[in-house]
Amino acid sequence: MINILAFISRKRRLINGKMGGGKIIGIAKLSRRGLMVLPKEVREALGLKDGDQVVFVEDNKRIYIVKGPIEVKV
């Protein structure tokens, strides 16, 4: 389980700081019903298996996909 606040803080440092942005590892299309398939490269990078939870985190107009479950501290 990851701490979402620590995750966002780390991502801000990577984007705004020394390491710069990232690289595209996959592209997906939405179906008419709003469904999409995560590319194999994304599933492998996140270590996802059948039945795993995926969490979408919005921060500063960016959306991150993280493997769940996550821990939210307020």
Query: Residues 42, 35: contact at Cβ < 8 Å?
Result: no
When divided into structural domains, the chain yields a total of: 1
Q: Please state, as a whole number, how many other Cβ atoms lie within 10 Å of the Cβ of residue 62.
A: 11
Q: What's the CA dihedral at 24, 25, 31, 37 to 10 degrees?
A: -160
Name the residue range of residue 30's domain.
2-71
Tell me the CATH number at 14: 2.10.260.10
What pLDDT, on a 0 to 100 scale, did the predictor assign at position 17? 47
Average pLDDT per block of 10 residues along the chain, 74 residues long: 62 51 83 95 93 89 85 70
What six digits make up the tokens of 22? 């990232």
pLDDT by residue (tens digit) across 20-40? 567 788 889 999 999 999 999
The pLDDT, as a whole number, for residue 19 is 45
